[in-house]
Structure 1
Amino acid sequence: MKSQSSTLLAEVRTFRQNHPQVRYVDLIALDIPGHFYGKRYPVEMLEKVAAGGPLKLPQNAVLLGAQGGLFKIGDYCFHDGDPDANRRLVPGTLKPVSWEGQPLGQMLITSDGTDAPIEFEPREVLARVLERLQHKGIHPVVAFELEFYLFDKKLDDGLPQFARDPRSDDADDQPSLHIERLSRFSEVLDDMAQTAQAQGIDITVITAELGPGQFEINFGHCDDGLRAADWAALFCRSTRGVALKHGYRASFMAKPYLQFPGSGMHVHVSLYDAAGNNLLAAHQQQPLRHAVAGCLELLPHCMPIFSPNHNAFRRLGGTVNAATRASWGFEDRDACVRIPESDPRNLRIEHRLASADANPYLVLAAILAGLEHGLETRQEPIAPLNEDRNSGADFPLEMLDAVRAMQHQAVLRDKLGAEFIDVYCENKRQDHLAFQQEINAREYRWFL
């Protein structure tokens, strides 16, 4: 603990020396729906926390709904006195914020690694899975890919407008994979990439996707699963801020247009032993098949994680590469679990089902739980799509059905934690019911 405090204190002091104009630092963490909450600290107070001083926030901040409200979940929120819970600073995450109107810093905080971690905090859920795998001699290497749309900064009666081409001021309203779009929007995209890199995020490839104003950002492969998920979470925050600065609105919403492709979160995962050998490639890739089988078995029970809201279910079975059944295949983007072509050293799975607005900590935890389960049970997977285009297992396509499939699944409760599963399912159930408490114009048009 003394060593960690010394490291954190040095990090804060170095930051203050390099950024003397920064007076406040946002201490932030991701809640269950994938939004950041936290506190803005004077930078001199941050030194006291780094030196071992207390850092407490309400425990129930993790339980916020999609709109920020609290739901009654068991004894939480309204019958527990709204207690504080300890958090700690995440080393290496204190970085400058360049997209705000004033000089600021930001730093991740978490309950994992404290004396009493919050069982349902997303980062803690992932930390437990990674710790268990480490004890088994399994070391994941992870890379996220995130798709997102650019819109005009102003909404039109609440509806998104196509991003304006900065060279012609025309609406970018045509689906296109053309690389010229990267040139047309290079100013904002370059700023997004540079800002992410300043946050310590390893940005690699930028792609113009098929939807109008749609792009994809790839991150480097990382041998620290928590850091890989941190990168995905922090990228969403910085990208939204940079877009607003340039007169755009960036959104990771799963399906903003019914007629165009949705935005996904693709996760590449390979597994290594302590000596650096790829476990999936051993014994003529038999462990790969077992891992795939485990992923597919648990996938139907993880849908509230992969599709965390009403809109995310609209993406499934959409226009491009979004499956409606649990499937796998070699070099097949129609599959939920794709096996990219690679040499044995880099053999991996690409999990393609999650929406871009899913919680990256929970998505990775669910994927790793599936891989772990497959390696334990050593089952054979169903036929890949390369052999049978109709191969696949059904999964829920509506939130309440998905919650029911998740809540009582024994393997998932064991691997992700029963308390987390109960809290998460009730959070999603209440969010879904709250979403239904509004009559929209279409209902009046159809039924009045």
Structure 2
Amino acid sequence: MKSHAATLLAEVRTFRQNHPDVRYVDLIALDIPGHFYGKRYPIEMLEKVAAGSPLKLPQNAVLLGAQGGLFKIGDYCFNDGDPDANRRLVPGTLKPVSWESQPLGQMLITSDGTEAPIEFEPREVLAKVLERLHHKGIHPVVAFELEFYLFDKKLDHGLPQFARDPLSDDADDQPNLHIERLSRFGDVLDDMAQTAKDQGIDITVITAELGPGQFEINFGHQGDGLRAADWAALFCRSTRGVALKHGYRASFMAKPYLQFPGSGMHVHVSLYDGAGNNLLAAHQQQPLRHAVAGCLELLPHCMPIFSPNHNAFRRLGGTVNAATRACWGFEDRDACVRIPESDPRNLRIEHRLASADANPYLVLAAILVGLEHGLEAKQEPIAPLNEDRASGTDFPVEMLDAVRAMQHQAVLRDKLGAEFVDVYCENKRQDHLAFQQEIHAREYRWFL
């Protein structure tokens, strides 16, 4: 069997043979707000890294705010000397970038699996959760679904404009679910799907959603939770790039229009033992009920993860299928936790609360912790919506309340890591306060 370094080196050399015109590769990782950071490496230097040369980036790059600024979080950023931290290449993620004007490659990097992982790096947080579950004999299978909007490439005084129908040049300003929209925007959607496949992402169903210019793309079920989250992260990057190439903007913003549906990140999760048996289906599906109860118990404390910014909270209780309380139901899209109809082999939950711009590594980590907690606590859930339309428990709908609910929750501090919880909550608190430091025109109209 090849060593780790030999496998990476073979991957880089094969890439160079297949793409001789590529001179640089972007080495990228996701920070806390869900943006990619990294460095552009000459392909020759990448071969040295694959062979074992150190790969270091500033540790605090993970802590960047939504606008890229650094916040004082404990001793990080301003009292720690801004140290470097080791990263490693993620095997199987070196792919060509087709949406840039020049030939380019990209490859994921991470601190997980290094000698000193960064405790608050999103991919490392998920890696620790998955490792713990595997040691317990629990093997998740995961599939993400992402909604997004297409807009015209040009903004109107900073505001988004409806995408132009390429056949009529009219604004696509009518909300609908018509299949014809897939044909009208077929060129850009086909390119998005093919580009994602070129990145190694298993794209399945494409849907025209209810909002004007809104679409959803689903991914295949994946037995490697890290790879499933990698797919979601990489898809957002490639989709935005392809849209610009076609004269559009693609955005995963949670609620770009108040009058139209927001965009969500739906996550399907099933759990299996080492023999491939569905754990949720055992004993007349009693573990499913326990898992649901755990998810609902922790959900109000995970809101800064599921709704990671001011705009994401606008989506809650919105136009269509966005819950206002922690609830569940069978085949019910109004529920935060939906149980799709399926046979026992494929029994799963669909977690529907997270916004499309949430960090996929952290969303999946939070969902898995909820399932894990439920299986351990063995509590019965509240009534499903199918039995009681008023069933549900409240969750915070403002960021500062959400941060307070998350920061001292004992189960999250134990299972996601206390250091991560403290860093994440302070990052979100500082980001929210920074967002408030601007007076908008409406404030002058109302109060001047």
2:279 — aligned with what? 279
CA displacement at 1:187 relative to structure 2? 0.1
SS for the counterpart of 1:325 is coil
1:327-364 C-alpha deviation (Å, 9 max, x unpaired) = 00000000000000000000000000000000000000
1:210-237 C-alpha deviation (Å, 9 max, x unpaired) = 0000000000000000000000000000
1:245-294 C-alpha deviation (Å, 9 max, x unpaired) = 00000000000000000000000000000000000000000000000000
CA displacement at 1:131 relative to structure 2? 0.1
1:128-157 C-alpha deviation (Å, 9 max, x unpaired) = 000000000000000000000000000000
2:264 — aligned with what? 264
What TM-score, normalized by structure 2, do the two folds share? Answer: 1.00
Call closer, same or farther: CA 1:379–1:422 in 2, change over 3 Å: same
Structure 2 CA distance, aligned partners of 1:270 and 1:6?
34
Structure 1 CA distance, aligned partners of 2:366 and 2:30?
17
The answer to whether structure 1 residue 349 and structure 2 residue 349 are counterparts is: yes
Structure 2 CA distance, aligned partners of 1:446 and 1:384?
43
2:158 — aligned with what? 158
Structure 2 CA distance, aligned partners of 1:5 and 1:382?
50
Structure 1 CA distance, aligned partners of 2:113 and 2:313?
34
Structure 2 CA distance, aligned partners of 1:320 and 1:265?
14
Structure 2 CA distance, aligned partners of 1:411 and 1:272?
23
1:336 — aligned with what? 336
CA displacement at 1:44 relative to structure 2? 0.5
Unpaired segments of 5 or more residues in structure 2? none
1:291-314 C-alpha deviation (Å, 9 max, x unpaired) = 000000000000000000000000
1:376-402 C-alpha deviation (Å, 9 max, x unpaired) = 000000000000000000000000000
Structure 1 CA distance, aligned partners of 2:83 and 2:26?
21
1:312-332 C-alpha deviation (Å, 9 max, x unpaired) = 000000000000100000000
Structure 2 CA distance, aligned partners of 1:442 and 1:174?
27
Structure 2 CA distance, aligned partners of 1:351 and 1:268?
6
* Superposed counterparts of 1:176-215, under 5 Å: 176-215=176-215
2:146 — aligned with what? 146
Structure 1 CA distance, aligned partners of 2:192 and 2:370?
33
Structure 1 CA distance, aligned partners of 2:413 and 2:356?
24
SS for the counterpart of 1:326 is coil
1:81-124 C-alpha deviation (Å, 9 max, x unpaired) = 00000000000000000000000000000000000000000000
Structure 2 CA distance, aligned partners of 1:424 and 1:198?
33
1:31 — aligned with what? 31
Structure 1 CA distance, aligned partners of 2:195 and 2:299?
34
CA displacement at 1:2 relative to structure 2? 7.3
SS for the counterpart of 1:68 is coil
CA displacement at 1:188 relative to structure 2? 0.1
SS for the counterpart of 2:314 is helix
Structure 1 CA distance, aligned partners of 2:160 and 2:223?
38
Structure 1 CA distance, aligned partners of 2:55 and 2:150?
36
Structure 2 CA distance, aligned partners of 1:441 and 1:261?
25
SS for the counterpart of 1:446 is helix
Structure 2 CA distance, aligned partners of 1:52 and 1:279?
40
SS for the counterpart of 2:402 is helix
Structure 1 CA distance, aligned partners of 2:101 and 2:76?
37
1:11-32 C-alpha deviation (Å, 9 max, x unpaired) = 0000000000000000000000
CA displacement at 1:76 relative to structure 2? 0.0
SS for the counterpart of 1:216 is strand
Structure 2 CA distance, aligned partners of 1:3 and 1:228?
24
Structure 2 CA distance, aligned partners of 1:401 and 1:369?
21
1:306 — aligned with what? 306
SS for the counterpart of 1:284 is helix
Structure 2 CA distance, aligned partners of 1:348 and 1:4?
34
CA displacement at 1:167 relative to structure 2? 0.3
Structure 1 CA distance, aligned partners of 2:318 and 2:271?
31
Structure 2 CA distance, aligned partners of 1:418 and 1:257?
36
Structure 2 CA distance, aligned partners of 1:98 and 1:285?
46
Structure 2 CA distance, aligned partners of 1:152 and 1:3?
48
2:133 — aligned with what? 133
SS for the counterpart of 1:232 is helix
SS for the counterpart of 2:105 is strand
Structure 1 CA distance, aligned partners of 2:81 and 2:133?
35
Structure 2 CA distance, aligned partners of 1:2 and 1:321?
48
1:180-207 C-alpha deviation (Å, 9 max, x unpaired) = 0000000000000000000000000000
Structure 2 CA distance, aligned partners of 1:205 and 1:63?
34
CA displacement at 1:69 relative to structure 2? 0.3
CA displacement at 1:421 relative to structure 2? 0.1
Structure 1 CA distance, aligned partners of 2:161 and 2:445?
24
Unpaired segments of 5 or more residues in structure 1? none
Structure 2 CA distance, aligned partners of 1:367 and 1:335?
15
SS for the counterpart of 1:27 is strand
CA RMSD between the two structures:
0.7
Structure 1 CA distance, aligned partners of 2:434 and 2:324?
26
CA displacement at 1:425 relative to structure 2? 0.1
SS for the counterpart of 2:3 is helix
List structure 1 runs of 4+ shifted beyond 6 angstroms. Answer: none
Structure 2 CA distance, aligned partners of 1:288 and 1:2?
40
SS for the counterpart of 2:207 is strand
SS for the counterpart of 1:162 is coil
